[in-house]
Amino acid sequence: MELNELTIHELQKKLRAGDTSSTEIVQAVFKRIEAVEPRINAYITLMKDVALADALKADEAVKKGDIRALTGIPIALKDIFCTKGFRTTCGSRILENFIPPYDATIVEKLRQAGAIFTGKTNMDEFAMGSSTETSFFGTTKNPWDLNRIPGGSSGGSAAAVAADECIASLGSDTGGSIRQPAALCGVVGMKPTYGRVSRFGLIAFASSLDQIGPFTKDVEDCAILMNGIAGYDPKESTSIPQDVPDYRSFLSRGIDGWTVGIPKEYFIEGIDAEVSEAVQKAIKCVEGLGAKTMEISLPHTKYCLAVYYIIAPAEASSNLARYDGVKYGYRSPDGQDLLDMYKKSRSEGFGAEVKRRIMLGTYALSSGYYDAYYKKASQVRALIKRDFDDAFKTCDIILTPTTPTPAFNVGEKTGDPLQMYLSDILTISTNLAGIPGISVPCGFTKGGLPVGVQFLAGHLEEGKLLQIAAAYEKNANLEKRRPNL
């Protein structure tokens, strides 16, 4: 196997043993990027020169015995995280040339752990989308089938890992934007508990829903990255001031005696037959590991999509008001006066989907409609959270499909926003409840497209997720495949 095809923990062993160097790993990754990136479009900005310089520093550190958790490991960053001195576009024309003056907290933490950054990955504009087709920088393609989407909004991060264009990556998840592309690209993707990972330096979409998490090639790498990014940050007001366990310590524990809840509302008409079949096999595997499964009900699931598409656009409307062409970002050269400059900068700088959600959100927050829409949605959100609280009184973990279908064709749903929104129907509830979830590969369709199974756990129980995900991954006996690029 080539170095770029290995996992974090495999490369760590090689680095410690002196069997390879960080420079060789980074060179292998960029060789792969040069070979396949023109067909995939996973990156918006590459950082090759800096990555190679950082690799030399990592090699010097290794010689001195200073090997940290991520020393010398090439990691890609979704282009929604601020990176000092490197442009951060959020997939939008309005930030096409924006260079932040500071690093996001997770960027600082990964640097301190020794990570090397390959570049900034493509994404739906301002994280609004489920297919990475709304990016100003073009559509990212699924490495398993270049005619299909990789999922979204973190499609570039998922595709880069699946195509071995990095060793691991980070994304953000507002309604499924890590787990859905992870499933569609055949990699592991985790959304931690809201507040477990600092959002400082994350360009906000919906502040009560956004959370940062990893894309990795296996569950052990997910635990390694979670160790690197989780923890309290005094700079971030929603950060949880609670100690972080060593997530790797959960990987070798079994699930014998656990109760796994299967929500009847998630196995409904409309789920692709091959997706359902793969997830049923995952359920059998979990039962074979000593867990008991039971049907549970999450009765307010039917309201999740409506609640999400009131709350998320409302918060987006507020968050995106700052892009006015004044302090930073795109400014229209044709503005006749201040108001005209505002209008033209925003209409020219934002894409169609972002404008649609800003208008939806502004309407929901407007005088006379706030109580009927945003306030009511927030009340139903509390009921959705209570459903999960009640469910976890009877089961340890919840198991569901991650997505209702495999990856769909590029352009298939761009003309029908509602059909696009339904792509996230199985992941949205997790964000509304603020609980953690993980998607793990669970097979392939007859056409060779990946399928993912989703595990959900209670507040701050990422360790449990990693425990069952590792046990499943080890015993599922899935066929090892790589995209044929």
Whether 172 is catalytic: no
> Comparing C-alpha atoms, which of 109, 357, 102 is closest to residue 214?
109
Token pair belonging to 112:
């301190």
Q: Which CATH class is domain 3-252?
A: alpha beta
- Structure confidence at residue 96 (pLDDT): 97
Whether 78 is catalytic: yes
Burial class for 244, CB neighbours closer than 10 Å (0-12, 13-18, 19+) = middle
Kindly write down the DSSP assignment for every residue of 457-472, as one continuous string. Answer: -STT-HHHHHHHHHHH
| Residue 123 contacts residue 170 (beta carbons within 8 Å) | no
- Structure confidence at residue 417 (pLDDT): 85
User: CA-to-CA distance for 169 and 154, rounded, in angstroms?
Assistant: 10
- Structure confidence at residue 190 (pLDDT): 98
User: CA-to-CA distance for 465 and 472, rounded, in angstroms?
Assistant: 11
CA torsion, ordered 303, 305, 309, 311, to nearest 10 deg: 50
> Comparing C-alpha atoms, which of 249, 238, 359 is closest to residue 309?
359
pLDDT tens figures, 86-108: 999 999 999 999 999 999 999 99
Angle at 260 between CA 258 and CA 263, to 5 degrees: 165
Token pair belonging to 318:
């507020």
Reported residue count of the chain is: 485
Active-site option among 21, 22, 154, 177: 177
- Structure confidence at residue 348 (pLDDT): 97
Whether 157 is catalytic: no
- Structure confidence at residue 126 (pLDDT): 98
Instruction: Read off the amino acid at residue 154.
Output: S
CB atoms closer than 10 angstroms to residue 344: 18
| Residue 83 contacts residue 126 (beta carbons within 8 Å) | no
Report the interhelical angle of 22-40 vs 48-63 (nearest 10°): 160
Instruction: Read off the amino acid at residue 221.
Output: D
- Structure confidence at residue 246 (pLDDT): 98
Cα 179 from chain centroid (whole Å): 6
User: CA-to-CA distance for 182 and 446, rounded, in angstroms?
Assistant: 19
Low-confidence spans in the chain with pLDDT less than 70:
none
Which of the 8 DSSP states describes residue 142? B
Active-site option among 78, 109, 141, 344: 78
Quick one: CA dihedral 379, 384, 388, 391, positive or negative? positive
Query: Residue ranges per domain, the chain?
Result: 3-252
pTM: 0.97
- Structure confidence at residue 270 (pLDDT): 82
- Structure confidence at residue 269 (pLDDT): 78
- Structure confidence at residue 236 (pLDDT): 97
Active-site option among 22, 92, 130, 153: 153
